[in-house]
Chains A and B, each alone.
Chain A
Amino acid sequence: GDSVTQMEGPVTLSEEAFLTINCTYTATGYPSLFWYVQYPGEGLQLLLKATKADDKGSNKGFEATYRKETTSFHLEKGSVQVSDSAVYFCALSDGNNDMRFGAGTRLTVKP
């Protein structure tokens, strides 16, 4: 079945460092891809999404490009801030509403 594999954490970075969190997927069709973020004590929030190959999702300085050839949707940010500390989840949806999530990657940004 469809699945998502994302980079294991935790990831600890200094402020202003470059961030990459890897995400690869397995799907039989053409899924939509998402990154959700969960800040401490809060629910999951959609960070960005891409619905077709070569689409780039972006929000709050984060970007991810839907790469069909490598079945990837890696999350990147050029300069992280302490406020970016959270758990990041990669997810896919094949349109049948059974959204599949990765295990999550905890990011800690130190001043």
Chain B
Amino acid sequence: DTGVSQDPRHKITKRGQNVTFRCDPISEHNRLYWYRQTLGQGPEFLTYFQNEAQLEKSRLLSDRFSAERPKGSFSTLEIQRTEQGDSAMYLCASSLVGRANTEAFFGQGTRLTVV
């Protein structure tokens, strides 16, 4: 396994368009997290999944944002009607929680630029 992978690495979109990002976690990890990171700031928690269940959503996750993890493996994060303020790095992380716990492993992120 090569770790957490995210696609695309970069996305430039016009304001008002919809975008979708994909995250493939480490295969045996049951938890998957989405974070947003803006320039000069640390990552901010958006949401996380335990297997296919979305267990927590931050207030940062407005109605325009939706995340899914349909089969408990990969996850998608969709942003509808993008705004310039959505420009950021979107980070995905995964971890194993249960009999053996691991720390969160992060992907390289998807950098979104809304023009």
- Chain B interface size, as a band, is 20 to 34
Chain B residues with Cβ under 8 A from A43's Cβ? 4, 91, 106-109
CB-CB contacts of B47-86 with A at 8 A, as 1s and 0s?
A: 0100000011010000000000000000000000000000
- Measured CB to CB, the nearest residue on chain B to A32 is B103
In Å, the complex CA distance between A45 and B104 comes to 9
Q: B103–A34 contact, CB under 8 A?
A: yes
CB-CB contacts of A82-111 with B at 8 A, as 1s and 0s?
A: 000000010100001111111110000000
- Measured CB to CB, the nearest residue on chain B to A105 is B42
Q: B91–A44 contact, CB under 8 A?
A: yes
In Å, the complex CA distance between A4 and B108 comes to 23
Q: A97–B42 contact, CB under 8 A?
A: no
In Å, the complex CA distance between A89 and B44 comes to 12
Chain B residues with Cβ under 8 A from A101's Cβ? 42-44
A27 in contact (CB, < 8 A): no
A42 in contact (CB, < 8 A): yes
* 16 additional A-B residue pairs with CB within 8 Å, beyond A44-B93, A44-B106, A102-B42: A34-B103, A41-B108, A44-B43, A44-B91, A49-B103, A97-B33, A97-B55, A98-B45, A98-B48, A99-B43, A101-B42, A101-B43, A101-B44, A103-B42, A104-B40, A104-B41
Give me the 8 closest cross-chain CB pairs, A-B, nearest first: A101-B42, A44-B106, A43-B108, A43-B106, A46-B103, A101-B43, A103-B42, A98-B45
